Amino acid sequence: MKFIYYLQSIAGVGVFPMIGLTIFFTLFLVLVVWALRVNKEYINDMKNIPLEKVNETTQL
């Protein structure tokens, strides 16, 4: 028996793809809004974290 037949036997299975799409779209919009509103100084601090870690280990 194919997998599609199992899905057809579940009542209301068509709502799950819409829920998944809604969650993905909401998360994507929140991330875009956050990226546009975040402080540029915070971005620069996060960008320089790997370089700071290298400098700390070389100073030991």
pLDDT tens digits for 12-56?
878 888 999 999 999 999 999 999 999 999 988 888 887 776 656
Q: Give Cα separations from 58 to 45, 50, 53, 54, 55 (angstroms).
A: 20, 13, 9, 6, 5
Q: Name the residue ranges covered by the structural domains of the chain.
A: 13-58
Residues sharing a CB contact under 8 Å with residue 13, sequence separation 6 or more, in sequence order: 7
pTM greater than the 0.75 cutoff = no
* C-alpha–C-alpha distance, residues 35 and 30, integer Å: 9
CB 13 within 8 A of CB 7: yes
